[in-house]
Amino acid sequence: MVSEEIAIRVRGLVTRFGTQTVHDGLDLDVRRGEILGVVGPSGTGKSVLLREVVGLDAPTAGEITFPCFEEQEREPRLGVMFQDGALFSTLTILENVEAPLREHTRLSPELRSEIASLKLSMAGLGPDAHHKKPAQISGGMRKRASVARAIALDPELLFLDEPTAGLDPISAEKFDRMTEELARSLGLTVFLVTHDLDTLHAICDRVAVLYKGKVAAIGTIPEITANAEGWVKEYFSGPRGRAAQHGAAGG
């Protein structure tokens, strides 16, 4: 259930790489329990923003906080699915999901394996895939395995970077449904970087549009498109946008 509590708060974010300014005073609030889709033209720093929020990269200036967790005087638990899955190629799928459990817990090998198997099953991967290596399974299965690894430690915030990129339409739709089911059943807050209009229409509670270094628009798709101009209008009202909207209405 989406709450009015703020899970992630970004204020005055500035990101520069040499003379290039990617973020220029960016502000963003992510509500607890929502699936937020983050979109924008290439080069607007969507993945960079994700990496900064999870602490992998440091912004040039600005502040990133987690208000509703600060009230509990603790850091939130994070899970991340990177572009293309980023699985360890020499490990089996099961061993990939066990990796964070091995690194951050003192669980017995038997219990680690049991938990990893459960997470893989939750991500839609049956036992026949658990002992295969990433090169031996399809791209869609690798993405599901990456999600299973991301939820291995029971995160509260889940970050997905272009999760349906490269998938055929049927696999992408199934992945979207899995994401939504996991988010709702586990009470996750999902920060989802995507360019997939079908995903935005199908599962996102709100969408944030990054443009020219800032959040140019944020809200539900009807709220954003009501007064859309420029790139935002072209993105949501072009042929692909209309097709995605028609598909969502039909579904």
Per-residue pLDDT tens digits for 98-126: 999 999 999 999 999 999 999 999 999 99
Distance CA 172, CA 87 (A): 19
**pLDDT at 161 (0 to 100):** 95
**pLDDT at 3 (0 to 100):** 79
**pLDDT at 97 (0 to 100):** 96
**pLDDT at 66 (0 to 100):** 96
Paired tokens of 226: 């009501």
pLDDT band, residue 86 (cuts 50/70/90): confident
Distance CA 187, CA 235 (A): 30
Sheet holding 61-65, edge to edge: 20-31, 6-17, 61-65
**pLDDT at 84 (0 to 100):** 73
**pLDDT at 235 (0 to 100):** 87
**pLDDT at 135 (0 to 100):** 93
Which of 97, 6, 99 has its CA nearest to residue 53?
A: 6
Q: Convert the pLDDT of each residue in 175-231 to its tens digit.
A: 999 999 999 999 999 999 999 999 999 999 999 999 999 999 999 999 999 888 888
- CA 25-46-64 angle, to 5 degrees, is 50
Mean pLDDT score, 14-26: 95
**Tokens 């946008």 sit on residue:** 241
Give the chain's mean pLDDT. 91
Q: Convert the pLDDT of each residue in 44-69 to its tens digit.
A: 999 999 999 999 999 999 999 999 99
Distance CA 173, CA 163 (A): 11
